[in-house]
Structure 1
Amino acid sequence: MSLTETRSNQENLEEAFRIAQQELGVPRLLEPEDIDVSHPDEKSIMTYVAQFLQYSKDMPSVDDDLEVSPSEKVREMTCWLQRAYEELLDVWSSTEREGYCRRYQAFQTFVGSFYEQRHPVIPMLSAMKRSTKLSEEQVALRQAWDNMEDRLQRCRTELDGALPAPLHSLAQWLQRMEAVLAEDHGTSDHRSAAQNARDKKEQLKGLMVDMSGHLDTLHLFHNTDDEGSSLIPDEKLDELKRRFTNARVTAKYHGIKLEYSEHWHHVCELLSRLKSKLNAWRGPYGSQESVLSLLQDWSDTIEKQGLVSILNAALHKLKETASTYTGKAALSEDSGTVNRQVKEAESEAAVSTEEADTVRGTMDRVLATWESYKHCSHSLQVFLGQEQAGSKVPENLSKWSSLQAQLNESGNFLIEVTDSSTSSSVANELGKLNRRWADFIKRTKFVSTKEAVPSQQASSSAPCAQAVQRLVQEADWTLREAVEVSPEALHSYRKRLQVSLMAVSDK
């Protein structure tokens, strides 16, 4: 439609006849020369119009249109966008050798018509943004829309570049400024977002240096040539002035927004790094060597790299920038979001910092427990191997009993804090060693009863010996049963084992 104003009457009639014949199936009964005359043949015209009336009878009614499925509507809008895209290409190519004014006016006419007709597409695109999965029709619509938007922007860029000097330099400056001032979409990659905000902030500083010079260009530019004709359409000059004013006003506060964005994304990136480390440091843990490696990683991250200190300093800078941001009346509508983001970041930093201190203590305890467990396990195995063939009660039995209790305490703790594979291995090893200890205690108690009790007290000691034997048997049964490696089963097993061992020790 935008070309109708730039073409002759006969050219427009030729295009209308072509579309009617190809798109609507209306036979070509007339030629442009038959119509573009002072006194056209009215009978021929009425015959041709009758063909359109017949076509209109075959068009779907409003009720039929209401029955169109959503997918069909999406396809219709996709086809419309594709036709509009082809029309834009036609507008652009047909005015390639025309003057700047004619090409600009043809483009603007097309854009105005396109914007008026695009309203049905907007709700569809908005709904697609909220959808987690798009259909093939929706993907095609999005692609057609993106193609159209990209092509429109390319045309605008070419029109800016074709401006006469010195306006073309001003237009190029405006394009760079508008790119810096454009709002970025949210991203989960905080490191890249922080760097992007930092880069834009530096670009903005450089562009602001040239602002006054371009303002002079606008004020001093005379839009007439030597013959008194306009160099560019007045609408284009007004557009440049409008864009420049918008850039100047927006840039005044955009630097603050970019600085805040840089610091906020930086804090979020540091928090993400710390949380990732905490996930590894808090367990469940593995072998003694793996715990030692985690402690070294904690030392490198917290003490050498100073991640927590860097986070606290970045958070302090963020709060200062946020205070400047919310103190500007022109940015007051963002105050709620800024205050909420800072509060959340401050809370997360406090929790993560405290956990970093706590988890260090936990890893120290796990490492110390591993050392205790391995020491007790090795010592007890050596002792039981030496005493296996012995027939006398060792003099330092209480020492070994204490060591065996320490072994179980260490083992039970490791079972609770290690991963399933390590926990199962510790439980099996602990069970085997406890069964050997139970066998040793059973032999020792009977030897002690037989050798140490005087004959006159034998009868009174018999019940005690029987009780000891019964308790040892119970402990032996407990130690020999298969244990399911789960928190509940291990907890129950541990309690029954402790009760049995305490009872045996008291006898």
Structure 2
Amino acid sequence: MHQPPMQMHSLIEDLKDGSRLLALLQVLSGQKLPVERGRILKRAHFLSNANTALQFLHSKNIKLVNINPSDIVDGRPAVVLGLIWTVILYFQIEENTRVLEQLARRSSVTGQEARSATATPTGTAPSAGAQASPAARGGARRTLLNWARTATRSYGIDINDFGSSWRDGKAFVAIVHCINPTCIDVNATERMATQERLDKVFKVAEEDLGIARLLDAEDVNVRDPDEKSIMTYVAQFLHKYPDPKAVAQPATGAARSPGQEVNEIADWVARTRQALSALRPPQQDDFMSFKSVKNDASERYLRYEKLKTLGLQVPGHVWTRVDEEWNSLERLLSEWQSHLDSRLPEPLLSVVQWITGAETFLEAGDDAPTEADERTAKLLTASLEEHMSFFGELPRVEAELRRGAQLPAAAQLPPQQLAHIDKRLKAVRGQAHRRWVRLKYLEHRCCIIAFLILMEGRVRAWTVKLGHQPRVEQMLHEYQTFVSDRNVFHEFEQAFIEMKQVADAFVKEGGVGPQEKEVVVHFINEVGERWRSVSVELQCLPLHARGGEIPGRASGNALFKFSLSVLSCWKKFSQGSEALSSWMDTAETMVTQSEEQKLEFFQDVPSWLAIMCD
């Protein structure tokens, strides 16, 4: 607050000599005030400084009740805190009442002119001072309350006080969005918990609107928030943006048609591009100028994208020209940011260089093949490994940013520039996480489809006539190796559980839209149905043997059990065939023997017939 800067360690103690209080009033008012200085100051000098401060406040018509110079010098907490609150009320709120009056008079000019012929018997308009808005009257608290109501009226927010009306954070969100709609997504904050919503809006207000973070979520998300604290914080918005809607919707006179808006945006982009092309130091070194142009460009681009969806009767070459101008402007803004980055001290320079590389990495996108085959799976696995290798550096970079922000060199930078770097790094973290969950989902999707295709192919191969003994032995070996040894049922169940978990994370955290979410849900359901069909076929497979179909379906691993049974029959048949062949050879010699010998030998014929027909 002073050059060289004065430091405040204890509000009560540091204000006792009156010099810092006078320095504060000089900064706030812009007026020079006499200060008692010297190496050895005594109580009389302290009282003189305190009296000068109080007399100055009296000259501003600020009502001071029961505050004496000795109260300040003696460090009476209640009096000092009351004095500081009075100063805040005046300089942060009541000073803006004049601005509100001007806005009220400006907005009523048209109405006054329309009524000028009938407003008075003489046909003259009422005086401007008589038209002051109620928002500009009634004291600091009422002024600020009415300003907040005006800013949030279209958001359905009911503000009745500076306590519970602000506890859920929605009023803060409405004010920030009213000032600049590009800063914050109202719908997204609706889904947040109160603590998260408050943290978000305080952070955005500080980084994008320059509102000092005087509050934490814990200060507001309580049963009875402190009204003075909230008034002090909200007063910053009034001080910087007395007419909040004018920031997002600058008045340009008569209403414009969408076609006129397109032309105005095109002209703005062309002018800005030309200006940036000619930009040189020291203007090029000013971060706040860069941020102002960047925010303005972002706001206009959102509006431009909206206009493109309205089906306007705008010649195609106009859209093409504006698109080309936007691309050039984005390139120039990127070069300007790179120039500002290059001037940063270490380790901040290394941090922004890594962030730039990460942004380029993420913008490259992923063109993974749609085929669910081994090649695709390998490509996805390689992409995941590359991703984890690159973004494994993120914790180190975040630590470097925190360290760099604490170094003396960082104190020479605008706080908004450090906040901008932090915002870029957090955006990279969010985008990287969304890319990772998408790649993980695609990898699991590819693997489970390939597994299903393999299983379905096996089932088709096994749903055939069993054939001769070698074929039965081969099928039994395949089933034993593929199904039993691998425990394929458990293997797939585990893979399917993991697939559903990855898909759920992808839907929740991967930036998935409604249509893509439906595709994911449909895929999971389809995989479940296909697996149920395959598992039933595996466990209750229709088998064929001896050239004919076995119609029954047994429970359990029917193919394995039946194959064993058929193999046993083939072995029994082979053994019986060998014995029968030997018996037949003997029978051929027995036909020449005596009747008694033939009768004894051939009495086994019924037994052989029974064995061969079994």
Question: Normalising to structure 2: TM-score of the pair?
Answer: 0.32
Q: Which has the higher helix share?
A: 1
Using structure 1 for the length normalisation, give the TM-score. 0.38
Q: Which has the higher contact order (CA 8 A, sep 6+)?
A: 1
